[in-house]
Chains A and B, each alone.
Chain A
Amino acid sequence: MRTLRLMGIGGALAYRALFNWTTPAMYTGTLLAGPTFQLLFFAYLGRQLQVADDRFFIVGNAVLAASTACVFGGTMAVANERRYGTLGHVLLSPRSRTVVFWGRVLPYAGNGLLIAAFTLLMGVLLLGLRIPASALPGLALALAAGSLACGFFGLTLGALGLRFRDVWVVSNVSAALLLLLTGVNVPRDGLPDWMITVGQLLPITHAAEAARLLAAGRGLDAAAPALGRELLVGAGYAVLAALLLKVFEAESRRRASLETL
């Protein structure tokens, strides 16, 4: 019960404490307007170049929309502790680091799901995409899986922040890689093999694939394998983040590599 409390209440408090974009102006501009215009940009570009149809770009960008909040949010969940000088308090906590930090991912994932749903709605309203009503529960599942995987991916990058001060560089590069390698805007069969392989290990690749199948009315059965792969990728990053946090914290005690104040 206390573990759930730490994950739930602790995670929500940490979200409000550490997420930079909670003000209405920042939230609307960065997390709602930005992805919507990005969706329109790629959809019109796609029409012009006749790369793929609107559904490809709308669904892809809706899944991708969660990544800004989740990847950067996951990074902020660790890196901003340094900014506020609160890392020492967290590292001196007798509670499990894994629970503390996994709990922090949950609000970001929920936030990502909201943003993805909003972006999809904008695609429907502005570009006239039709999605069968029966596909909506499955789509929500795919967007949630993508958001969760992105959150744990962001936490992994944030864990690097315990070792490297300029972790935002890594987050920025990662956001660009998600745009390129996950197939949300560039059809993956046009990419070199190594890029396809890397893309398979990144979050949202499989969520985008599942979401497209669902939006096309193919049903949850058809989308389930991709959905499963997305959850597996997310679980992989959750474990990797927990390991890195453990390793870097131990290293900081041994080598004094961390400025905790």
Chain B
Amino acid sequence: MESDYAIEAEGLRRTYRTRTGWLRPRRETVEAVRGIDLTVRRGELFGLLGPNGAGKTTTIKMLNTLLIPTAGTARIRGFDVVEQTREVRRRIGYVFGGDRGLYDRLSALDNLRYFAELYGVPPRDQRRRIAELLELVGLTGREQERVEGYSRGMRQRLHAPEVLFLDEPSIGVDPVAARELRRTVAGLAAGGTTVVLTTHYMAEADELCDRIAVISGGEIQALGTPAELRSRADGRRVVEVEAYGVPDTAISALRGLPGVRETSVEDRGALQLLTVQSDAHVDVQGDVLRELAGIRLGRVDSREPTLEDAYVAIVGAA
């Protein structure tokens, strides 16, 4: 019986047990996902955000049948992901980011022909569907070329239209191709396809997703529309400072300043981008610059919080 929900997960958990060494084996248990409950409506574009190791990919792999949950249940269109794998697999697609996932030696056309066979697309529909797909991703006329000749972005665009689960699809994609990818994903969702998207790009999630779940430590820390998540950072102010060679002691000192709620550092080559979130009614800019005295600084900016700031606040509080 197919459900009105595309995805339903209750108490989803996954534990990994690893063993290293032969003579004196060391066993380790890692709880990658610690009880996730979520429902995704049909046609919804749902984002999963979280830092590396948060449990996003493990969650997706449980939902798409590649992994069996240690506990809990999940259903895709009402079909259980453990017991009814064939029914589930008939209804899902999975695209992962990076430079892999296609047969290099085959042309785009033959890759699609093979995937069509693997996914059981009826022969009478294959030619039409493949032509539509090539047209959609702008590869008409290049379908006979081997995919090893394509740019990374073009290769990933081959996958897009069949997809339900997109695991960091825009990783390593150039900005123009990423924009086209976002357009394609939005088009799929508008056409009724349910999309679960994991990404590190907040702007992408903000632009595309109907709802977003922020995962950290294997648990959902926040769930809501992008606007609802952004409101988590309401009442805050953000100071951004470009700096060079900031020592850890200075960062600790920033964290201890009165009114400071979150401090994060992003390395951009030699440059470090410090982001300091504070209560809106406290002006910390002067204190921040005082703590960074003697350090070479670039641009200093004060602004309203974004979804990314809300994300940092949510993950930081986890």
Is this pair of chains taken from one and the same complex? yes
User: Chain A: which residue is nearest B96 at the CB level?
Assistant: A261
Q: Is the CB of A261 within 8 A of B89?
A: no
Q: Is the CB of A17 within 8 A of B65?
A: no
With known contacts A5-B123, A84-B103, A85-B98, A256–B118 Cβ distance under 8 A: no
- A30 interfacial by beta-carbon distance below 8 Å: no
Q: Is the CB of A2 within 8 A of B101?
A: no
Q: How many B residues have CB within 8 A of the partner chain?
A: 33
- A47 interfacial by beta-carbon distance below 8 Å: no
Could you say which residues of chain B place their CB within 8 Å of the CB of A93?
A: 89, 118-120
Could you say which residues of chain B place their CB within 8 Å of the CB of A256?
A: 14, 16, 67
Q: Is the CB of B98 within 8 A of A261?
A: yes
Q: Is the CB of B120 within 8 A of A16?
A: no
Return B2 CB to nearest CB of chain A, in Å. 15
Could you say which residues of chain A place their CB within 8 Å of the CB of B297?
A: none
Q: Which of A91, A100, A261 contacts B100 (CB 8 A)?
A: A261
- B182 interfacial by beta-carbon distance below 8 Å: no
User: Chain A: which residue is nearest B107 at the CB level?
Assistant: A16
- A26 interfacial by beta-carbon distance below 8 Å: no
Q: Is the CB of B103 within 8 A of A17?
A: yes
Could you say which residues of chain B place their CB within 8 Å of the CB of A2?
A: 120, 122-123
Q: Is the CB of B102 within 8 A of A84?
A: yes
Q: Is the CB of B67 within 8 A of A253?
A: yes
Return A259 CB to nearest CB of chain B, in Å. 11
With known contacts A2-B120, A6-B117, A16-B106, A253–B68 Cβ distance under 8 A: yes
- A174 interfacial by beta-carbon distance below 8 Å: no
User: Chain B: which residue is nearest A80 at the CB level?
Assistant: B103
Could you say which residues of chain B place their CB within 8 Å of the CB of A172?
A: none
CA–CA, A135 and B119, complex, Å: 44
Q: Is the CB of A86 within 8 A of B102?
A: yes
CA–CA, A182 and B66, complex, Å: 40
CA–CA, A10 and B123, complex, Å: 12
Could you say which residues of chain B place their CB within 8 Å of the CB of A94?
A: 86, 89-90, 119-120
- A18 interfacial by beta-carbon distance below 8 Å: yes
Q: Is the CB of B102 within 8 A of A253?
A: no
With known contacts A9-B113, A261-B96, A95–B102 Cβ distance under 8 A: no
Ordered nearest first, which 9 A-B pairs have the shortest CB separation? A85-B100, A17-B103, A94-B89, A93-B118, A10-B117, A13-B114, A94-B90, A253-B68, A85-B101
User: Chain A: which residue is nearest B159 at the CB level?
Assistant: A89
Interface residues in B125-163 by Cβ distance below 8 A to A read none
13 A-B contacts, Cβ less than 8 Å apart? Answer: A13-B106, A13-B113, A16-B110, A17-B103, A84-B104, A85-B98, A85-B100, A86-B100, A90-B118, A95-B117, A253-B67, A261-B98, A261-B100
Could you say which residues of chain A place their CB within 8 Å of the CB of B66?
A: 88, 91-92, 252-253, 260
Q: Is the CB of B101 within 8 A of A88?
A: yes
- B105 interfacial by beta-carbon distance below 8 Å: yes
User: Chain A: which residue is nearest B94 at the CB level?
Assistant: A92
Chain B contact residues: over half helix, strand or loop, or mixed? loop
With A92-B64, A92-B92 already in contact, 18 other A-B pairs whose C-beta atoms are closer than 8 Å: A2-B123, A5-B117, A6-B117, A9-B113, A10-B114, A13-B113, A14-B114, A16-B105, A17-B105, A85-B96, A86-B102, A91-B66, A92-B66, A93-B89, A95-B118, A100-B118, A256-B14, A260-B61
- B115 interfacial by beta-carbon distance below 8 Å: yes
Q: Is the CB of A95 within 8 A of B120?
A: yes
CA–CA, A156 and B119, complex, Å: 24
Could you say which residues of chain A place their CB within 8 Å of the CB of B98?
A: 85, 261
CA–CA, A230 and B61, complex, Å: 41
Interface centre among B16, B96, B114 (most CB of A within 10 A): B114
User: Chain B: which residue is nearest A254 at the CB level?
Assistant: B68
User: Chain A: which residue is nearest B103 at the CB level?
Assistant: A17
Q: Which of A6, A89, A255 contacts B101 (CB 8 A)?
A: A89
CA–CA, A90 and B64, complex, Å: 13
Interface centre among B64, B86, B118, B123 (most CB of A within 10 A): B118
CA–CA, A111 and B281, complex, Å: 76
CA–CA, A93 and B114, complex, Å: 11
CA–CA, A254 and B115, complex, Å: 25
Interface residues in B27-85 by Cβ distance below 8 A to A read 61, 64-68
Interface residues in A245-261 by Cβ distance below 8 A to B read 252-256, 260-261
CA–CA, A9 and B127, complex, Å: 14
Could you say which residues of chain A place their CB within 8 Å of the CB of B86?
A: 94
Interface centre among A13, A100, A260 (most CB of B within 10 A): A13
Could you say which residues of chain B place their CB within 8 Å of the CB of A88?
A: 66, 94, 96, 101
User: Chain A: which residue is nearest B115 at the CB level?
Assistant: A89
Return B210 CB to nearest CB of chain A, in Å. 25
Return A89 CB to nearest CB of chain B, in Å. 6
With known contacts A254-B68, A256-B67, A89–B117 Cβ distance under 8 A: no
Could you say which residues of chain A place their CB within 8 Å of the CB of B102?
A: 84, 86
Q: Is the CB of B65 within 8 A of A89?
A: no
CA–CA, A22 and B120, complex, Å: 27
With known contacts A14-B114, A16-B105, A86-B103, A92–B96 Cβ distance under 8 A: no
